[in-house]
Amino acid sequence: MTSATLLRRITDYAARADPYPLYAELRRTPVARQEDGVYAVSTYWEIAGLLHDPRLSSDPRNRVPTAGEEDILEEEQGLPPSFLRLDPPEHDRLRRLATRPFGPPDSLRRVSDMRGDLARMVSGLIDGLRDREQADIVEDFAYPFPVMVICNLLGVPHEDEGRFHVWAEAIVAGLDPGEEGEGPAERLRAAQRARMELGRYLAGLIEDRRRAPGGDMLSALAAGHGDRERMSPLELVVTAVLLLIAGHETTVNLITNGMLTLLRHPDALRRLREEPGLAVPLVEELLRYEPPVQLLPQRTALADIDVGGVTIPRGAPVWLVLASGNRDPRRFPDPDRFDPGRTGNEHLGFGGGIHYCFGAPLARLEAQVALTELARRLVEPRLVEDPPPYRRNPVLRGPRHLPVAFDGCVP
Binding site for other proteins (CB under 8 A): 49, 52-57, 59, 87-89, 92, 96, 103-105, 108-109, 111-112, 115-116, 118-120, 122-123, 275-281, 284, 302-304, 314, 341, 343-346, 350, 352-354, 356, 360-361, 364, 368-369, 372-373, 376-377, 410-411
Q: Of 100 and 397, which CB lies nearer to other proteins in the complex structure? A: 100
Which ranges in 30-83 belong to alpha helices (H)? 44-51, 70-75
Q: Of 133 and 356, which CB lies nearer to other proteins in the complex structure? A: 356
Instruction: For residue 89, give the 3-state DSSP assignment.
Output: coil
- Neighbour order of strands in the sheet with 317-320: 31-33, 39-41, 317-320, 296-301, 56-57
Q: Of 52 and 165, which CB lies nearer to other proteins in the complex structure? A: 52
Angstrom distance (rounded) from CA 106 to CA 354 = 19
Q: Of 237 and 268, which CB lies nearer to other proteins in the complex structure? A: 268
Q: Of 164 and 350, which CB lies nearer to other proteins in the complex structure? A: 350
Characterise 113 by phi-psi region: left (phi > 0), alpha (psi -120 to 50), beta (else).
alpha
Asked whether the CA dihedral 122, 128, 134, 137 is positive or negative, the reply is negative
Asked whether the CA dihedral 244, 250, 252, 255 is positive or negative, the reply is negative
* Residue 78 · residue 194 · CB < 8 Å: no
Q: Of 24 and 354, which CB lies nearer to other proteins in the complex structure? A: 354
Within a 13 Å sphere around the CA of 398, how many CA atoms are in the beta-carbon half? 26
Rounded to a whole number of angstroms, the minimum distance from the CB of residue 17 to other proteins is: 28
Rounded to a whole number of angstroms, the minimum distance from the CB of residue 58 to other proteins is: 8
Rounded to a whole number of angstroms, the minimum distance from the CB of residue 338 to other proteins is: 16
Phi and psi (nearest 5°) for 388?
-75, 165
- Residue 115's contacts (CB-CB under 8 Å, 6 or more residues apart) are 365, 369
Rounded to a whole number of angstroms, the minimum distance from the CB of residue 398 to other proteins is: 21
Q: Of 122 and 252, which CB lies nearer to other proteins in the complex structure? A: 122
Rounded to a whole number of angstroms, the minimum distance from the CB of residue 46 to other proteins is: 12
- Neighbour order of strands in the sheet with 134-136: 134-136, 403-405, 382-383
Angstrom distance (rounded) from CA 43 to CA 29 = 9
